Structure 1
Amino acid sequence: MTSVGINILIIGIYVLLMVAVGIYCMKHAKDVNGFLLGGRNLGPWLSAFAYGTSFFSAVIFIGYAGKNGWNLGISAIWIGIANAVVGCLVSWLVLARRTRSMTHRLNAKTMPEFFEGRYCDKGMKIFCAIVIFIFLTPYAASVYMGLSYLFNAVFSAVPYIWWMIIMAVLTALYLTLGGYMATVLTDFIQGLIMIVGIILVVWFVLKNDVVGGFSNGIYQLSQIPETGKDLTSWYGGKNWFDLIALMVLTSLGTWGLPQMIHKFYTVKEGRSIKEAAIISTFFAMLIGGGAYFIGAFGRLFLQNTLPAEGYDAVMPMMLSSALPAVMMGILLVLILSASMSTLSSVVMTSSSSLTIDLVKGHFAPNMSEKDTLGLMRILCVVFVALSFAIAAFKPKEIITLMSFSWGTVAGTFIGPYVWGLYSKKITRLGAWSGMLLGFLTSIVPAVVSGFNAQYAPAFGMFAMVVSLVITPLVSLYTPKYTSEFIKEIFD
């Protein structure tokens, strides 16, 4: 069998496995709670892998690792380390227990429902639902684009658009069949694939003659004219601010992303949270650190010449030359696994926000359980179709799409969400101020700059800082909630 045939066989087995999991999990998705939350009783391993695999996608491997490895060199690995420590370990330890308990008390299944219950404001729920749907759509589109670039590099005879169609159909199929339980079980399988895959990819990249081992690879990077010193600096050299902005955006940003926070709703209480924190941290350190590590050597494989297609082509071109033919099939499944998990989380979050928070919560409060579940499934398909349509036009680099989407959503929600869990003094106007100013801090500069990719991480970072600072500051000077309301929320 040819290498192309082997790769197709590997991918075919993977696709059949995902569909089988979706069919198996149909019994868990017969009502809204089952479809969206899986019973709120998941163990640490399933919860941790669901969180970790939703964190990383084709955008990390193709966009972020390619561009930041090229520009930052070996210091880009700090982004992966920050993802593990801040985005996973600290996030789980600080947010998970309170999120789970408070969403139980508020009977909240989505982040907009949480905001409505916590701040007693229906308008806030509607605003959040709209932000989630609008800004997670290009996020999903960036994942489709990243996958398609890689598949197109391996199977060049098949046009880019067809790979996106295949990914879109597969996502819609297993998600609409099995709901959240399908995503969790596939996340676990995908996580195991990702662990094995990244270890093999790092091994083959380092052992390739172009790199010749870690020490020799670092030495070769240092000899690149003009940029060699910065590429081998462990602190980013003259690019230190870009490094910090990316660390904050991709790590602290998870604290305000609804598709990540949703994982805290469903985990078991007690020891499961601490165990999930440790497991997800190890997973993120391996996957995120590994991706940014191999991205640092992209210049060596491409003779220090950026491809005409831009940064999105760096990793596909590098890995297609660095890996044996059979390994490319494993790599494709690795990145497909990462991306399918992210896509399913984003699609689930967006469709549930529109269904529960906007349609049922505002326009049709008496909608039956059956109709709510049916609409959620339909909107899953609609969201996939919209994301596909955006990606089909091949907009700016996928890292640009993700950075602006990630920064805007996280900057809007992080202040009112984090402070809302811990502080009894946060007011309705404080929460609204944090949301709106965080949102505007990301959007206005992005529009003025013409969505300049260079500044996207900085805009997202500043938006999160503004949201975290403004929320408690405005709350100091605005009317407080009654003691009875606060007792109901926190006790």
Structure 2
Amino acid sequence: MLLAQAVGITEILVVLAYLMVTFYLGWLGFKRTKNAADYLIAGRDVHPFVMALSYGATFISTSAIVGFGGVAGMFGMSLLWLTFLNIFVGIFLAFVFLGGPTRRMGHRLKAHTFPELLGKRYQSKFLQIFAGVVIFLFIPLYAAAVLIGGCEFISAKFGVDYQVALLVFSVIIAGYVIVGGLKGVMYSDALQGSLMFIGMIALLIATYAMLGGVGQAHADLTEMNEMPSLFGAIGFQGWMSMPKGPGWGEPQYDLWWIIISTITLGVGIGVLAQPQLAVRFMTVKSTKELNRAVLVGGIFILIMTGVAFVVGSLSNLYFHKYEKVEGTIVSVTERTGVTAKKERGILKQIPCQLLHVDTDGDEIADINLIGKGYDVTLDNGKTIPFSKLMPNAKIDQQPDGTAIIHPRATSFLRSVVKGAGGDWMFNSGSIIPIYVTRAMPGWFGLIFLLTLLSAAMSTLSSQFHAVGTSIGRDVYEQVSHSKKSSMNITRIGIVIGIVYAVIISNYLRGGYFIARATAIFFGLCASAFLPAFVGGLFFKKITRAGAIASMLTGFLITMFWLMFIKDKEARALGVCHALFEKHSLLLDKPNWSVVDPVVVALPIAIIVAIAVSIFTAPPKEEHLDKCFGASS
């Protein structure tokens, strides 16, 4: 009853109707799933339009819309370089150059999963098992990022507790992916991709209309570049500008390396070796279908990521210039610390006055705003002028006791939420949900809810499908040498993956975790899988030893970098500090501690694949003929 009051009957009915259609498509997939090929690769007869939307909907999730959109709210339109790389690498190169060879080799070798394709290409059970274990262990990290993105919006839109949203959403996801297999997943993806496309187009048009048109909005946002920023010390130069750089050896270049190495390269290149995406290429009949899917996929990715990054940046203009909060100030917290950064060994809190506002008349605060910031004097006598860096809200008291409040905040400073421990924090993952909830009409919030539900469900279903098949087919079948109970193990693996992702989602909210987790998984896939994957498709002289050495090298260097070099991840894991009493081995060397592992691990993995292959025995000709087709 309380949930119904918070959400509203209309919203509940619309969401239920959407879920009924989604479950019907899952059931349809179940009815048409007759064998392993149907469950794992949709019977290899998927229409190119369905495949393109499934690929795009799987690729683009709430981690892109909410997570990276929130990062764009913090750092600006420099993230559009990721959109370019997503289209050029994730669609053009993937479909035109990798799609056909992946489909043909997958058909010839009768491979049903990405690890199985690698294992059969190199005649190595170790490769298949190792790749399956990596996928099983690390996709839930990416899935957690997607779950958080979806639950952030549900929580912001309806005032539902974050943990409740997380539990309900997870149960829904589990329902149709366990039953329907990849056919059910891809049918649902096509519907969800269509809804996502419509929702994001509507969001872009509504945003520019509200901000005075394209030219006016961009001009006003450019003027805001002159505002003092919390991120100025690491190279932020405004939402319409690239960070300071390229450069090396100074903290002022940190943001450039974060944007380029982690966000742009880590995600932009990592898409080529995504297991849940590569398997889509094995679901169509011919290369002709793949080529037909390029245009659909390219437009889809452009709209999904481009709109998220543009709107995320423009949300700063709305919050600073246009937002009005009308309601009753229930209480005022005169001085409290709002966490801007919380990691092992670091707790950066900004002293603020918080206004707790009731906007719906129930005498319970539903919006929390910064009233003003306070300066801080450090032990060394230096003063940090937070009073100049933080917004000063303008409050117009009304005769009836209510108030009209102009927060005059930037997006990051508007994203004040209460964390799991009850402490206040800035949460970039809340920027897009708060913007849509505050700036858009109520009916649009419902459309956008379906957009985010679609984005999250399409990606999560594919992620958990990959988790299940990796443990069922790629590990269990290879270790037990039996296909008996493999489907049951697959479904058990899906449940384990969901539980694992939910636990991560519950404890690691905040600190732009959504974007970080996505980049970690994409970068790991690039470093560990990409050399063996591309080498196996195009180069006959890449040997089994070369592929194994490359995969182990990419994986181990990435793990080393995350545990001992990259500051945020090394602090979270705590291994480096436990062994060396330093949070990062290169923390005192500017820029190194923010460089993404893929920048180091991928080139070394490529070199290792080539070098080891030169000095080891090549595959037998008859096996290469089976992989590539008999030479004429």
The answer to whether residue 496 in structure 2 is matched with residue 382 in structure 1 is yes
- Residue of structure 2 in register with 1:394 after alignment: 508
- Residue of structure 2 in register with 1:127 after alignment: 130
- Residue of structure 1 in register with 2:171 after alignment: 169
Distance 1:235 1:393, change over 3 A: closer
Q: Which aligned pairs between 1:84-233 and structure 2 lie closer than 5 A?
A: 84-156=87-159, 158-209=160-211, 213-225=216-228, 230-233=237-240
Partner of 1:48, secondary structure, is helix
The answer to whether residue 487 in structure 2 is matched with residue 483 in structure 1 is no
5+ long unaligned stretches in structure 1 = none
Contact 1:29 1:179 (8 Å CA) reproduced: yes
The answer to whether residue 390 in structure 2 is matched with residue 252 in structure 1 is no
State the Cα distance separating 1:200 from its structure 2 match.
1.0
Please tell me the residue identity of whatever aligns with 2:464: V
- Residue of structure 1 in register with 2:361 after alignment: none
Q: Tell me the distance in 2 between the aligned counterparts of 1:78 and 1:450.
A: 22
| Segment drifting more, 288-297 vs 210-219 | 210-219
Partner of 2:44, secondary structure, is coil
- Residue of structure 1 in register with 2:58 after alignment: 54
State the Cα distance separating 1:236 from its structure 2 match.
4.3
Contact 1:3 1:325 (8 Å CA) reproduced: no
State the Cα distance separating 1:170 from its structure 2 match.
1.3
The answer to whether residue 428 in structure 2 is matched with residue 311 in structure 1 is yes
Match of 2:603 among 465, 469, 477: 465
The answer to whether residue 299 in structure 2 is matched with residue 282 in structure 1 is yes
Q: Tell me the distance in 2 between the aligned counterparts of 1:171 and 1:23.
A: 14
Contact 2:39 2:180 (8 Å CA) reproduced: yes
State the Cα distance separating 1:441 from its structure 2 match.
2.4
Contact 1:7 1:326 (8 Å CA) reproduced: no
The answer to whether residue 77 in structure 2 is matched with residue 74 in structure 1 is yes
- Residue of structure 1 in register with 2:69 after alignment: 65
Contact 1:141 1:391 (8 Å CA) reproduced: yes
Contact 1:68 1:76 (8 Å CA) reproduced: yes
Q: Tell me the distance in 2 between the aligned counterparts of 1:32 and 1:219.
A: 55
Contact 2:96 2:291 (8 Å CA) reproduced: yes
Deviations 1:220-269 (A, max 9, x none): 33332366983255544434443332222222211111011010010120
- Residue of structure 2 in register with 1:271 after alignment: 288
Please tell me the residue identity of whatever aligns with 1:287: M
Which structure has the greater CA radius of gyration? 2
Match of 1:31 among 28, 35, 53: 35
TM-score normalised according to structure 1 size? 0.93
The answer to whether residue 546 in structure 2 is matched with residue 430 in structure 1 is yes
Please tell me the residue identity of whatever aligns with 2:205: W
Distance 1:119 1:8, change over 3 A: same
Q: Tell me the distance in 2 between the aligned counterparts of 1:465 and 1:450.
A: 18
Contact 1:351 1:380 (8 Å CA) reproduced: yes
Q: Tell me the distance in 2 between the aligned counterparts of 1:319 and 1:332.
A: 10
Q: Tell me the distance in 2 between the aligned counterparts of 1:291 and 1:428.
A: 42
Partner of 1:255, secondary structure, is helix
Partner of 1:452, secondary structure, is helix
5+ long unaligned stretches in structure 2 = 246-254, 320-408, 416-424, 570-590
Distance 1:270 1:261, change over 3 A: closer
Q: Tell me the distance in 1 between the aligned counterparts of 2:450 and 2:210.
A: 21
Contact 1:58 1:338 (8 Å CA) reproduced: yes
The answer to whether residue 441 in structure 2 is matched with residue 320 in structure 1 is no
State the Cα distance separating 1:435 from its structure 2 match.
0.8
State the Cα distance separating 1:188 from its structure 2 match.
0.9
- Residue of structure 1 in register with 2:529 after alignment: 413
Q: Tell me the distance in 2 between the aligned counterparts of 1:2 and 1:142.
A: 25
| Segment drifting more, 15-24 vs 125-134 | 15-24
Q: Tell me the distance in 2 between the aligned counterparts of 1:160 and 1:118.
A: 45
Q: Tell me the distance in 2 between the aligned counterparts of 1:456 and 1:410.
A: 18
Contact 1:6 1:326 (8 Å CA) reproduced: no
Distance 1:4 1:231, change over 3 A: farther
- The structure that is helix-richer by fraction is 1
State the Cα distance separating 1:22 from its structure 2 match.
1.3
Distance 1:456 1:175, change over 3 A: farther
> Cα RMSD between the aligned structures?
2.4
Contact 1:403 1:456 (8 Å CA) reproduced: no
Please tell me the residue identity of whatever aligns with 2:628: F
State the Cα distance separating 1:197 from its structure 2 match.
0.3
- Residue of structure 1 in register with 2:252 after alignment: none
TM-score normalised according to structure 2 size? 0.73
State the Cα distance separating 1:478 from its structure 2 match.
2.7
Partner of 2:426, secondary structure, is coil
Q: Tell me the distance in 2 between the aligned counterparts of 1:6 and 1:90.
A: 43
Please tell me the residue identity of whatever aligns with 1:391: S
| Segment drifting more, 101-110 vs 317-326 | 317-326
Match of 1:333 among 450, 455, 462: 450
Contact 1:57 1:339 (8 Å CA) reproduced: yes
Partner of 1:39, secondary structure, is helix
Deviations 1:262-297 (A, max 9, x none): 100101203211111221111101111111111112
Q: Tell me the distance in 2 between the aligned counterparts of 1:477 and 1:435.
A: 17
State the Cα distance separating 1:210 from its structure 2 match.
8.9
Q: Tell me the distance in 2 between the aligned counterparts of 1:456 and 1:48.
A: 34
- Residue of structure 1 in register with 2:340 after alignment: none
Distance 1:451 1:405, change over 3 A: farther
Q: Tell me the distance in 2 between the aligned counterparts of 1:121 and 1:51.
A: 28
Q: Tell me the distance in 1 between the aligned counterparts of 2:452 and 2:187.
A: 17
Distance 1:12 1:465, change over 3 A: farther
Contact 1:148 1:160 (8 Å CA) reproduced: yes
Q: Tell me the distance in 2 between the aligned counterparts of 1:178 and 1:353.
A: 17
- Residue of structure 1 in register with 2:343 after alignment: none
Distance 1:355 1:68, change over 3 A: same
